[in-house]
């Protein structure tokens, strides 16, 4: 049975990347050592982390005045690091578009930072991306947005204009799968375990003028210290960085971010169309706000959703169940997810609809 | 050419572990998915993390009233988390036995915690483990020690008695390679990349009564929150935890910690004896304070050290160069380091001594 893994993260990786990692797992390029056994101060590993950074810079067209950091702790640690580094003594503005935005907001509040939620889609269960107010307080430290909402299946189609106030973005679930411009952000962060690599690595891209604004009481949480040490202040998650490097190489082979995003559009487009044409399944998300990478759908009947999930799982469709906070189904279609899996899911949905009194 | 990897960390892993990981890298137990692709909420991964914890509990005889946490950020993040969680409003006592102790001390000071260094071996370049004062302030939050000093090559032969004051230990470089008792500690932490697994995983073992003493302004840094969520508050470093599980299984096969420590004693014993018998090489460390896992040695001539390091590297002895802060040579002999590598090094040292005017 072919397994299709719709996990929201940790998620499917390119098969070519896994095969490459497998082939050199005991002996990296004739070194006689596994990548996991390489000293982080060795020239072997230095080449890996430098290549990873260079490839990401190329893929995302990251300007020179942005630093690229390879950190740990996931987006959840960024919910603390962002306000700790950027908002001390200033107000931080947040856009509330779902579960992860709420965690970002509570992370800032826990630090005692003054938080203002300037837009929210909570009134309609986060089924759309709200407009930002026309006027943004230009004294604010930043405007925080979640570019793609993994659980709710919404995404910013375009990045708002906030004047001189830097936009800070949690891009965990659509990094390398969008046409945003890095220059439109002050800081971007992303947990690796969706479109980049294994869990345990967090990528931060930060504009240099935002670094070193304030003294940080915890060295590991200090962007400037991490930047000054090129992510080698202490031992970084070396193997995860190596896998990320292989993924970046793979994305490049797919025609870069433009090429892979085009594939993502085709994949998501087919599934959204099937949902539109279905008499049974529907999307809970407003059309203009739909995510390319996380596609939730429902029948409107919780029992039928449960039945669908059980039958889908038995047929090899893994991790299709929606997040426990929203129910239903969710197909996460990250870059490495194969289009054959989308077609197989659509065929399965049609069959299920027929079997359950559909058209 | 056979490669022997003396890296101080990330370090050599058991070959059997790497082979196992390689064999199931694309398909974990017939799941059709790599471990890197498993959702951290899946039953597949739940079994991995539970097995890892259970194995570690068994290996270290961890009592039930201790929690085992799988975190991120390395020992360096623990330098902040320990005082943040345990020392707020109280004085913290530190024993200064080298570079890493100093970092732990400065981590506590950076948070504004009152720190007292109650013993130090800085007077003799950290070449010995100092005695603790007979009287320990019983109002102190904890006494922090570094059980094994990776750079200086010293280790606590036995754990001091501090009365009711909990001992907090950075055990990064000799966890699973000692005969300490977990009950003698309030908290143990260890970066995985020496004796446990790949970089990017930190193991914390903490006595339950030490949890939840104070409100923590950063959720990811809150031991209690992490314990309440069984290390699944957010996505943990799943692949690193899987490798750790394989390493724990391997240690068990080696006769557990007692069995592997016996092997470690033989390996280190042979090298120390060769150093003692040499007319060229010497150990900078006092006999009673010598580490089993990190064995520094010098010729007393910086140029000759350099020559030795260059020739050793050319002969396949990787990462023998001492830390840049102390120079000389250092053989890190963690659990997975093969005894054949020790014998090969000793033979190489004898040959070098003969070639360079030795006996």
Residue B200: inside a domain, yes or no?
yes
What CATH number does residue B202 fall under?
A: 3.40.640.10
The pair of structure tokens assigned to A214 is 């304030």
Distance of CA B79 to the CA centre of its chain: 14
What CATH number does the domain containing B264 carry? 3.90.1150.10
Residue at token pair 């572990």: B17
B window 129-188, beta carbon within 8 A of A: none
Residues A271 and A283 in one domain: yes
- Residue A277 placed within a domain: yes
**pLDDT surpassing 70 at residue A358:** no
Predicted local confidence at residue A88, as pLDDT: 79
**For residues A198-207, average pLDDT:** 98
Average pLDDT over residues A196-213: 97
Say how far apart CA A171 and CA A9 lie, in whole Å. Answer: 13
* Number of cross-chain residue pairs from A and B with Cβ atoms under 8 Å apart: 210
**Under DSSP, is residue A67 helix (H, G, I), strand (E, B) or coil?**
strand
- Are B204 and B96 within one domain? yes
| pLDDT grade for A326, boundaries at 50, 70 and 90 | confident
Q: Do both B322 and B245 map to the same domain? A: no
| Among the listed residues A202, A176, A141, A182, the one whose alpha carbon sits nearest the alpha carbon of residue A292 | A176
Q: Does any domain span residue A4?
A: no
Q: Who's near B281: CB < 8 A, 6+ residues apart? A: B274, B275, B297, B298, B299, B349, B353
Classify residue B146: in a domain, yes or no: yes
Q: Are residues A57 and A196 in the same domain?
A: yes
Last residue of a domain, one of B190, B225, B253: B253
CB B201 within 8 A of CB B70: yes
Give percent of chain B above pLDDT 90: 97
Would you say residue A10 lies in a domain?
Answer: no
**Domain limits at B83?**
16-253
Q: Which of residues 19-48 of B touch A (CB under 8 A)?
A: 19, 21-22, 25-26, 31-34, 36-40, 42
How would you classify residue A337: left for phi > 0, otherwise alpha for psi between -120 and 50, otherwise beta?
beta
Instruction: Domain count for chain A, please give it.
Output: 2
Percent of chain A residues topping a pLDDT of 70: 99
Whether B244 and B293 share a structural domain: no
List the beta bridge partners of residue B290.
B154
Residue-level pLDDT at B162: 98
Answer whether residue A86 shows pLDDT above 90: yes
Q: Determine which helix (DSSP H) or strand (DSSP E) holds B115, and give its type and residue range.
A: strand B115-120
Q: How far apart are CA A338 and CA A6, in angstroms?
A: 10
Provide the pLDDT confidence category of residue B358 given band limits of 50, 70 and 90: low
Does B282 share its domain with B201?
no
**Res A324 pLDDT > 90:** no
Residues of B in contact with A8 (CB under 8 A): 39
Report long-range pairs for B26-32 (Cβ below 8 Å, ≥24 apart): B26/A15, B26/A18, B26/A19, B26/A22, B31/A3, B32/A1, B32/A2, B32/A3, B32/A5, B32/A316, B32/A318
pLDDT tens-digit readout, B57-73: 999 999 999 999 999 99
Cβ A31 vs Cβ A38: under 8 Å: yes
State how far the Cα of B121 lies from the Cα of B328, in Å rounded to an integer.
Answer: 20
| Residue at which a domain ends, from B234, B253, B272 | B253
The per-residue pLDDT of chain A, averaged, comes to 97
Q: Are residues A331 and A343 in the same domain?
A: yes
Instruction: Find residues 69-128 of chain A whose CB sits inside 8 Å of chain B.
Output: 72-77, 79-80, 84, 106-107, 110-112
Residues B199 and B339 in one domain: no
Taking CB atoms and an 8 Å limit, are B10 and A36 in contact across chains?
Answer: yes
The whole-number pLDDT of residue A196 equals 98
Query: Binning pLDDT at 50, 70 and 90, where does residue A193 land?
Result: very high
Task: Please work out, in degrees rounded to the nearest 5, the angle formed at the alpha carbon of residue B57 by the alpha carbons of B51 and B62.
Answer: 160
Q: What is the mean pLDDT of residues B317-335?
A: 94
Q: Does some domain include residue A177?
A: yes
The whole-number pLDDT of residue B339 equals: 98
Residue A320 has pLDDT above 70, yes or no: yes
Cβ neighbours, 10 Å, residue B228: 12
Residue B359 predicted with pLDDT over 60 = no
pLDDT digits (tens, 9 = 90+) for B83-129: 999 997 899 999 999 999 999 999 999 999 999 999 999 999 999 99
| Residues A222 and A350 both lie in one domain | no
> How many angstroms away from the CA of B134 is the closest CA of chain A?
32
| Chain B residues closer than 8 Å to A221 by CB | 80, 218
Q: In terms of domains, do A182 and A213 share one? A: yes
Classify burial at A217, counting beta carbons within 10 Å of its beta carbon; exposed 0-12, middle 13-18, buried 19 or more. middle
Same domain, B234 and B295: no
What residues form DSSP beta bridges with B292? none
Q: What is the pLDDT of residue A359?
A: 52
| DSSP designation for A159 | P
- Choosing from B223, B253, B283, the residue where a domain stops is B253
Give the tens place of pLDDT for each residue, B176-221. Answer: 999 999 999 999 999 999 999 999 999 999 999 999 999 999 999 9
Q: How far is CA B78 from CA A219, B106, B169, B190, in A?
A: 11, 12, 10, 9
- A204-209 mean pLDDT: 98
Residue B202 lies in a domain: yes
Of A13, A26, A200, the CB nearest to B237: A200
Does residue A163 register a pLDDT over 70?
Answer: yes
Give per-residue pLDDT as tens, A266-307: 999 999 999 999 999 999 999 999 999 999 999 999 999 999
Q: Given B40, B219, B234, which is nearest A110 (Cβ)?
A: B219
With CA atoms as reference, report the closest residue to B294 among B273, B272, B262, B316.
Answer: B272
B11 in a structural domain: no
Q: Could you give the angle at the alpha carbon of A64 between the alpha carbons of A63 and A70, nearest 5°?
A: 90
Residue B138 corresponds to which tokens in the numbers above? 């019983």
**8 Å CB contact of A239 and B198:** yes
CA-nearest residue to B316 within chain A is A32
B326 — pLDDT class (breaks 50, 70, 90): confident
pLDDT in tens, B225-240: 999 999 999 999 999 9
Per-residue pLDDT tens for B254-295? Answer: 999 999 999 999 999 999 999 999 999 999 999 999 999 999
Q: Which pLDDT score, from 0 to 100, does residue A223 have? A: 98
Judgement on whether residues A22 and A114 belong to the same structural domain of the protein:
yes
Computed on alpha carbons and rounded to an integer, the radius of gyration of chain B in Å comes to: 21
Average pLDDT, chain B: 97
C-alpha distances in angstroms, A173 versus A155, A291, A293, B18?
9, 10, 7, 30
């Amino acid at each position: 049975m072919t397994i299709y893994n719709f996990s929201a993260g940790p998620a499917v990786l390119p098969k070519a990347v896994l095969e490459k990692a497998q082939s050199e797992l005991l002996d990296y390029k004739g070194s006689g050592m596994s990548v996991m056994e390489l000293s982080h101060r060795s020239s072997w590993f230095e080449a890996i982390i430098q290549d990873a950074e260079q490839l990401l810079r190329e893929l995302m067209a990251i300007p020179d005045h942005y630093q690229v950091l390879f950190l740990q702790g996931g987006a959840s640690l960024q919910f603390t690091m962002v306000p700790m580094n950027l908002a001390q003594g200033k107000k931080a503005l947040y856009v509330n578009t779902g579960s992860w935005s709420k965690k970002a907001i509570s992370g800032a509040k826990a630090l005692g930072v003054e938080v203002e939620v300037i837009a929210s889609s909570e009134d309609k269960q986060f089924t759309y991306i709200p407009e930002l107010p026309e006027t943004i307080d230009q004294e604010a430290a930043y405007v925080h947005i979640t570019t793609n909402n993994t659980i709710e299946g919404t995404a910013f189609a375009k990045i708002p204009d906030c004047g001189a106030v830097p936009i800070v973005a949690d891009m965990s679930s659509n990094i390398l799968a969008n046409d945003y411009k890095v220059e439109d952000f002050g800081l971007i962060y992303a947990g690796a375990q969706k479109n980049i690599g294994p869990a345990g690595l967090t990528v931060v891209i930060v504009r240099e003028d935002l670094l070193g604004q304030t003294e940080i009481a915890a060295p590991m949480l200090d962007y400037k210290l991490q930047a000054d040490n090129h992510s080698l202040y202490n031992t970084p998650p070396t193997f995860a960085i190596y896998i990320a490097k292989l993924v970046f190489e793979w994305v490049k082979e797919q025609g870069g971010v433009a090429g892979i995003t085009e594939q993502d559009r085709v994949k998501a487009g087919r599934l959204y169309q099937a949902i539109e044409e279905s008499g049974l399944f529907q999307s809970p998300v407003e059309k203009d706000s739909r995510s390319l990478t996380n596609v939730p759908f429902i029948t409107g009947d919780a029992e039928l959703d449960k039945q669908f999930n059980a039958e889908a799982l038995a047929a090899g469709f893994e991790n299709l169940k929606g997040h426990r906070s929203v129910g239903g189904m969710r197909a996460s279609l990250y870059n490495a997810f194969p289009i054959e899996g989308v077609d197989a899911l659509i065929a399965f949905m049609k069959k299920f609809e027929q079997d359950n009194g559909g058209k």
